[in-house]
Structure formats: C-alpha cells, structure tokens
Amino acid sequence: METVLQSLVGLSCLFLAGLGVRTMFAVKSMFAILAVEPQGAAGLSTIRGFLGGLFIGSSIVLATGLVTDNTTFILAVAMTMSVVVTGRCVGLAMDGFDKKVVFPLVTEIGMVAVFIIAYMNL
C-alpha cells in the first residue's frame, strides 16, 4: 500500500510539473487546455505566473514531502487542490455546466483523495 501511494503521489508530482513547465514555457499551447485567452503580455505573464507557478510549486512541495517523508507537505497540496476544486464548483454553480470542466474536476478530486490518503498512511 505504501509503495502504491508513493507512486501515485510521485506520478501526480510529475503530472503537475509537466503542466507547470508547459504552462510557463509553452504558454500558447495551453490556451485550449486551460480555456483561457490572455490579453497581451500582462495576460501571458499572469497565466505563466499564477497557473504555471501553482503547478510547479505544488510539484516541488509534493516532491519535498516524498523525499523527506514529511506528509504535511502532501497535505498542504491537498488543501491547495481542494480550494481549486471549490473554485470549479463555484464556477459550475454560478456560470453553468460545461463538459470541459468535468475531466479536470474529476482529476483534481482524485488527486486530493490520493494526497489525503497518503497523508494519513505514509
């Protein structure tokens, strides 16, 4: 069980790092995936900084938790991702349903579940 959880957290770490690097350095390739359209250089900077930074920062925190065996780091990312899930749910309630939101929402809920289970069992 421990190896499975560490592997799932590690895969999530790689997934988030990949999203972050792509969002930061190949931002235009992420417009359709993120469903955002920036306004000029300031908009590009916002996507690179906020989204790329969130993904890369979360990946670094997860890696720190795995390397140090301190699951509090994993819990911190679970809390961050929970707020992202909450934001998506607010969007669904206020803006209406869009099927493009389902995959990221389910993925984020899955990661939160894995991170909480890892926090409690590693």
Report residue 90 as tokens: 């607010």
pTM, 2 dp = 0.92
Residue range 93-103: mean pLDDT, rounded? 94
Residue range 27-56: mean pLDDT, rounded? 92
- What DSSP line would sit under 24-85, residue for residue? HHSGGGGHHHHT----HHHHHHHIIIIIIHHHHHHHHHHHHHHHHT-THHHHHHHHHHHHHH
**How many residues comprise the chain?**
122
Predicted local distance difference test score (pLDDT) of residue 26: 94
Query: Quick count: other Cβ atoms within 10 Å of Cβ 43?
Result: 13
pLDDT band of residue 37 (cuts 50, 70, 90) is confident
Residue-wise pLDDT tens digits, 44-83? 999 999 999 999 999 999 999 999 999 999 999 999 999 9
